[in-house]
Chains A and B, each alone.
Chain A
């Protein structure tokens, strides 16, 4: 069974940084592309970023390009999202998801709140 467990969310000040982690189990992590999707409170889903199975290629939404960095450590079965220069509109639940084009497995999400 696919299990994805996000961590690292919390309260950050505008302009601050956070690093999210997503620990994967139940599947061969190194064989799958991975994705981050976020959901602002009471709003819909927004794709944030994705990374290929080897980590060689990454993709970003325009809203986070230049501020967020996706990475992975296949030896640790873990996906990361380094978030810098945080803004109030980055406030959301951040989900990691297995696969890239469409996602069979999702974590339960971690809440990021950006506020002074």
Chain B
């Protein structure tokens, strides 16, 4: 099973600033990585797939990069609606599909 590790667990950011979230896989997943955003009481929403492709309707402020074992989600100019929990998920070697533990982006 591929273990996904996200860091940091919590990121405090001031509105208008950028956030950089990390995700590391225990073995290579090529570019088979997705990022999701989840707000309290809501279902996850797909942001990025194939490591760097934005899902339909996702604004350009969200960008994904990386391949192999190390990935990054960058969120530029954070607004109130961007404060949420973000998960990475690999789909290279499954089952099982595996998620990272999440990064909570909170208002500083």
Residues of A within 8 A of B (CB): 35, 37, 44-47, 50, 59-62, 95, 100-104, 106-109
Contacts and interface: CB of A to CB of B under 8 A. Distances in A.
Nearest to B49: A102
A110 B69 CA distance: 33
Interface in B42-58: 42-46, 49, 55-56
B87 A103 contact: no
B96 A101 contact: no
B107 interface: no
Contact of B55 (A46, A62, A104): A104
Contact of B87 (A44, A104, A107, A108): A44
A62 B102 CA distance: 21
B99 A45 contact: yes
B44 A102 contact: no
B98 to A, nearest CB: 7
A102 B89 contact: yes
Given A47-B96, A107-B43, A109-B43, A102 B91 contact: yes
A47 B99 contact: yes
B73 interface: no
Contacts of A50: 95, 97
